[in-house]
Amino acid sequence: MTLLLVTAEHTWRRSLQVRVVTLTLVVSSLLVAVFAYVVAYRSSSILLERAKQSVTAQMEFGRGYTEEQLAVFGKPYEPNVQGTLQDIVFYLGGGDAQDPGSGLVVVQAEDVVELRPEKSRNVDMSVVDQVLGPDITSAVDGGGVATAIRSADLGAGQAKYLVMGTPVGTKFGHVELYYIEPLTTQDSAATQIRTTVLATGATLVLLLGLLAALVTRLVVRPVRVAARTAQRLSAGLLDQRMAVTGEDDLALLAASFNQMAANLQRQIVRLEDMSRLQRRFTSDVSHELRTPLTTVRMAADLIFAERDRFPADVSRTAEILQTELDRFESLLTDLLEISRYDAGFAMLDAEPTDLVPLVHRAVEPLRGLADRCGVELRVEVPADPVIADVDPRRVERILRNLVGNAVEHAEHRPVDVRLVSDGVAAAVAVRDRGVGLKPGEEKLVFNRFWRADPSRARQTGGTGLGLSISIEDARLHGGWLEAWGAPGQGAQFRLTLPVRAGDRLTGSPLRLVPDDADLPALTPPVQPRAIAQAPAEVPR
C-alpha cells in the first residue's frame, strides 16, 4: 500500500497530463453529481406534485359525490346508510377492476358506523390504520384537509403511498373520506430519471477525461520533446534539434527552440575557442617566460650577493629586485598549475598520510610572518595520528594558503588552526578574527585574482591565485573547501577531505560557522608601526 501511494505521488508530481486528467475527472464528476441530484430532486418534486393534484381532484369529486349520496339520510341508524356507504366506496374506488393495493378509498362514519372497506380482502385493516395514522385522522376530524406520504405493505409489497383525507358534511353527523394512492409509478419514473442522468453523466465524465487526455497530450508531448532535447543540449550534444511540424503555436515553439539552440551552440563554441586560446596562451607564456626568468634570476642573485659593496640606493634596489623576482616566479608557478587544471592534466598522488605533522609543517614556516604581523598562531590537533589517503604536497599547499591569508587579514588578532576527524572525513578549520567577509563574498574568494579590498595594503605579496588553486586541489581529493565570514567578526575556511580515497563526503566533523560567530563585532585595534623590511613571499 505504501509503495502504491509513493508511486501515485511520484506520478502526480512528474506528469502534467495525469494532473490535468485527474482534475478534469474530479471537477466534472462533482458537477455531474450536483446536476444529477438537482434533476432527480426536481423530477421527484414534479411527479409528486402531479400526483397530489390528481388525488386532490379525485378527493374533491369524491367528497361532492358522497355528500350527494348521503343527503337523503337524516339519521345514522337508518337501515340503508351502511349499504350506501359501501356503494360509495365501491364507486369511488373504481370497482373490482383495480388490483389490490393499487389505491384505497376509506370512508369512516362518526360514532355509529366505522366502515373501512377495501377492494381486496387481503388488505390488513390494522395496516390501513397505521397508514392513516393519528396525525391524519386528527386533522380530518378537526375539519381540515390533511396530506401525508407513508411507506407500507397493503398487499402489493412495500411501497410509498400518498394519503389525503377530508371531512364530508351530512345531516346525521361527521363522515371522513380518505384516499390512499400508491406512488409506485412516480418512484419508478424518478428512479429511471436518476439512472439515466447518472449513466449520461458518467459517460460524459469519461468523454471529458478522454478529451482532456488527448488535448493535454497534444500540448505536453512537444514540451516533453523540448525537455529531452534541452537535456541532450546540456549534456554537450549541441547538434540536437526539435522537429517542426505545421504552422501552429507548437510549431512556433519548436522553431524558436531550435533557433535558441543554434545561437547557444555558436556562442558556446565561440567561448570554448576563446577559453582554449586563453589556456594555451597562459601555458605558453608561462613556459616561455621560464628561460628569461632563469637568466634574470642568475644575474639578480649575483647582484644581491654583492649588494654590500654597492651604495645604499643600489643595495636597496637589489633587494627590491630580489623580492619582485620571487613574486614573479611564484606567479609563473601558479599560472602553470592553473593551466594544468584547465587542461585536465592535474594528477593526484594519494598515499596514507598522518595529517597531524602535515598541519604543523604547513603552519611552522608562517610563524615568522605571524610574529612580524603581530598575530598569534594557535594550533589544535588530536593527540593520536589522523591517517588519510591524500596527496601531502597539495594538502600542505592548501593549508599554507589558508593560514597565510588568515594571518594577512587577522588584524593582529589570534588565528586558530583546528584538525578534527570522525573516521570517515577529516577537516581542518582556519579561523581569523579580522575584517571578515561581506555577504556573498564567501563564494567570490575562490575566484582568480579576486580581492575583497583592492586598496588594502598587502603583507604577503601573493599572486591572487592561491585560493583558486586550493579549491581545485580540494576537488581533486573529492573534498570540500568552504568559507564563512561576517564583517567585523573575521572569517573561517574549512577544508574537508575523505579519509579513504574515492569515498563520497556526506558531512564534515567541523562546523563551517564558528562557535563565536554570534559575538558582536570586535573593536579595530591600533595599527602598529610600519615594518621597514619587506616580508618574504608566502607560498600560495
109 belongs to a structural domain: yes
Element (H, E) at 401: helix 392-408
How far apart are alpha carbons 433 and 517 in whole angstroms? 10
How far apart are alpha carbons 537 and 404 in whole angstroms? 10
Could you list the pLDDT tens digit for every one of the 540 residues in the chain?
Answer: 677 777 777 777 777 778 888 888 888 888 888 888 888 888 888 888 888 888 888 888 888 888 888 887 777 677 777 788 778 877 887 655 444 445 677 776 655 444 444 444 456 667 777 778 888 888 887 788 888 888 877 767 778 888 888 888 877 777 888 888 888 888 888 888 888 888 888 888 889 888 888 888 777 777 778 888 888 877 777 778 878 877 777 788 888 888 888 888 888 888 778 777 766 776 676 667 777 878 888 888 888 888 888 888 888 888 888 888 877 777 777 777 777 777 666 788 889 999 999 999 999 988 988 998 899 999 999 999 999 999 998 899 899 989 998 998 888 899 999 999 998 999 999 999 988 888 888 888 888 777 665 554 444 445 677 888 888 889 989 999 999 998 888 999 999 999 998 888 888 999 999 888 764 444 444 333 222 333 333 333
Do 415 and 327 share a structural domain? Answer: no
Q: Mark which of 314, 342, 370 sits at the end of a domain.
A: 342
Do 351 and 338 share a structural domain? Answer: no
CB 17 within 8 A of CB 217: yes
Q: ∠ at Cα 214 (210, 216), nearest 5°? A: 115
How far apart are alpha carbons 419 and 495 in whole angstroms? 10
Extract the C-alpha cell encoding 43: 423530477
15 belongs to a structural domain: no
Residue (of 421, 422, 404) closest to 366 by Cα position: 404
How far apart are alpha carbons 274 and 267 in whole angstroms? 10
CATH classification at residue 72: 3.30.450.20
CATH classification at residue 491: 3.30.565.10
Extract the C-alpha cell encoding 32: 455531474
CB 87 within 8 A of CB 69: yes
Extract the C-alpha cell encoding 151: 411507506
How far apart are alpha carbons 436 and 489 in whole angstroms? 6
Residue (of 198, 177, 184, 185) closest to 152 by Cα position: 184
How far apart are alpha carbons 374 and 381 in whole angstroms? 23
Q: What is the DSSP letter of 489?
A: T
Do 353 and 296 share a structural domain? Answer: no
Q: Mark which of 288, 317, 342 sits at the end of a domain.
A: 342
Per DSSP, the residues of 126-140 read HHHHHHHHHHHHHHH
Question: What integer pLDDT is reported at residue 533 of this predicted model?
Answer: 31
CB 363 within 8 A of CB 416: no
The 3 state secondary structure assigned to 275-341 is HHHHHHHHHHHHHHCHHHHHHHHHHHHHHHHCHHHCCHHHHHHHHHHHHHHHHHHHHHHHHHHHHHH
The Cβ of residue 244 has, within 10 Å, a number of other Cβ atoms equal to 15
423 belongs to a structural domain: yes
10 belongs to a structural domain: no
451 belongs to a structural domain: yes
379 belongs to a structural domain: yes
337 belongs to a structural domain: yes
CB 48 within 8 A of CB 161: no
Q: Mark which of 342, 361, 383 sits at the end of a domain.
A: 342
Do 260 and 117 share a structural domain? Answer: no
Task: Count the helix, strand and coil residues of the chain and give each as a percent rounded to the nearest 5.
Answer: 55, 15, 30
Domain, as residue range, for 391: 347-498
Q: What is the DSSP letter of 503?
A: P
327-355: b (≥16 Cβ within 10 Å) or e: eebbbbbbbebbbbbbeeebeeebeebeb
Do 328 and 355 share a structural domain? Answer: no
Label residue 402 exposed, middle or buried (CB < 10 Å: 0-12, 13-18, 19+): buried
Prediction pTM value: 0.46
390 belongs to a structural domain: yes
How do 415-421 and 351-354 pair as beta strands? unpaired
- Per DSSP, the three-state class of 425 is strand
How far apart are alpha carbons 187 and 172 in whole angstroms? 41
Do 353 and 311 share a structural domain? Answer: no
Q: Which amino acid is at 39?
A: V
**Is the C-alpha dihedral spanning 494, 346, 278, 233 positive or negative?**
negative
How far apart are alpha carbons 455 and 435 in whole angstroms? 14
Do 367 and 290 share a structural domain? Answer: no
Determine the straight-line distance between the first and last CA of the chain, rounded to whole angstroms: 59
> Across-strand partners of 492?
431, 484
Domain count for the chain, please give it: 3
Do 446 and 311 share a structural domain? Answer: no
**Is the C-alpha dihedral spanning 39, 40, 45, 46 positive or negative?**
positive
Residue (of 340, 281, 319) closest to 468 by Cα position: 340
Do 289 and 413 share a structural domain? Answer: no
Do 76 and 132 share a structural domain? Answer: yes
Residue (of 315, 470, 284) closest to 395 by Cα position: 470
Do 414 and 290 share a structural domain? Answer: no
Q: Taking the C-alpha atoms of 23, 25, 28 and 32 in order, what is their torsion angle to the nearest 10 degrees?
A: -150
How far apart are alpha carbons 363 and 356 in whole angstroms? 11
How far apart are alpha carbons 337 and 473 in whole angstroms? 10
- Per DSSP, the three-state class of 496 is strand
Do 358 and 441 share a structural domain? Answer: yes
CATH classification at residue 309: 1.10.287.130
